[in-house]
Amino acid sequence: MRLIALTIKRLARLALVLLCVALVSYGLMMASPVDPVDAYLGPQMAQVSPEQRALIAQRWGFDQSPAVQFGHWLRQLISGDLGWSHVYNQPVSEVIGQRFQRSIALLGSAWLLSALLGFSLGVVAGAKEGSKLDSIISTYALITASTPAFWLAILAVLLFSVTLGWTPTCCAGPAGVLNQDVTLVTRLHHLLLPIVTLALLGIANITLHTRARMLELMRSEVATHAFAQGASRIDVAWRHGLRHASLPAVTLAFASLGELFGGSILIEQVFTYPGLGQATVAAGLRSDVPLLLGIALFTALFVSIGNMIADSLYAVIDPRIQPGGL
């Protein structure tokens, strides 16, 4: 019963967040210089008379007040119709669906890699402060934490794809091959470099936070008490450290989903990987309003769900935290 009430509360909150995102992104679109009619017409703009333009605008409902337009869009949205993308000449929901499938392979593996590797490195570094291993890991983490993702991506392409020729320079598959003919190995080969670059971005952050929590624990009375029981550093790190350090790691891993999404836009651009990030850039540059709004909403949904999962995991890790609240 409690669980059902909790789930309903969470879902209601999620709906509210999405409504706010819809409102803000719609407002931004209205305020932006983007003119959907111009974008729709494209190069044929010169051949269309002002009267014809006005006719199109009227047909699309642009003569009505912004509030009415928003209401109209929202009603369509709730019925599941996200609109038509003129850049890809497909329904927006289909574009997002296809692109997300490719992006999730990139995002998911990069996320998993950065979370697991970042956490392990942080635990190892924090277990023995000031050791050789600690300084190596900390130095590495500090350097990568201050490196811009796109710059790292460009360097990676230059070194591994251009100079060494180990990985392909672009795309999700070889050029001139139909999508369904691309084998899994080839797909992975194309994914390798973007995943590694994107993961490097996340590892540093999680490592530094996990390490900080570990240092705190190793100096705490819990650790001193364990040492008094004859525990070794490894014992303390394994039994107490993993539990204590997983709280900041979980928070960061799920909170960084948004960051990862942002990072993937840059990475997909550099590697010309046809994912959601690239679609976002294309939609922005070519004024594809429905697609841009759809992606904004979808990203908000994705990140909110990530945060919801993190929220639920807290109670599992730390018994002092009660699920529920607000």
Partner 1 sequence: MLTIDRLTLQLPYYADGYTAWWKRRWATCLDAFSLTFSPGEVHAVVGASGAGKSLLAYAIMGLLPTPARLNGQLYYQGKPLDASRQRRLRGRELALIPQSLSALDPLVRTQRQVAWAAQRAGQPSAHAWHASQQALTHYQLDARAQQAYAHELSGGMARRVLTAMAHVSQARLVIADEPSVGLDPHQRQRVLGALRELADQGKTVILITHDLRHALPIADHVTIMRGGKLIETAPSSAFQGSGAALTSAYSQALWLALPDNAFATTTISRREQETNVA
Residue tagged 């470099």 (tokens): 193
Q: Interface with partner 1 includes 78 (CB under 8 A)? A: no
Q: Interface with partner 1 includes 224 (CB under 8 A)? A: yes
Considering the complex, what minimum distance in angstroms separates the CB of residue 317 from partner 1?
7
Q: Interface with partner 1 includes 313 (CB under 8 A)? A: no
Q: Which two tokens stand for residue 265?
A: 């836009």
**Is residue 144 within 8 Å of 197, Cβ to Cβ?**
no
End-to-end CA distance of the chain: 17
Q: Interface with partner 1 includes 75 (CB under 8 A)? A: no
Q: Interface with partner 1 includes 183 (CB under 8 A)? A: no
Q: Candidates 79, 89, 180, 229: give the one binding partner 1 (CB under 8 A).
A: 229
- Where helices occur in the chain by DSSP H, the ranges are 2-31, 36-41, 50-59, 66-78, 92-127, 132-145, 149-156, 184-218, 221-228, 233-236, 242-255, 257-270, 276-285, 289-317
Q: Which two tokens stand for residue 65?
A: 């007040």
- Specify the 3-state DSSP secondary structure of 104: helix
Q: Candidates 14, 41, 56, 231: give the one binding partner 1 (CB under 8 A).
A: 231
132 vs 178, beta carbon nearer partner 1 = 132
Binding mask 235-274 for partner 1 (x = CB under 8 A): x---xx--xx------------------------------
For partner 1 (CB under 8 A), the number of binding residues is 20
Q: Interface with partner 1 includes 295 (CB under 8 A)? A: no
Q: Distance between CA atoms of 206 and 248, rounded to whole angstroms?
A: 8
Enumerate binding residues for partner 1 (CB under 8 A).
220-222, 224-231, 235, 239-240, 243-244, 317-320
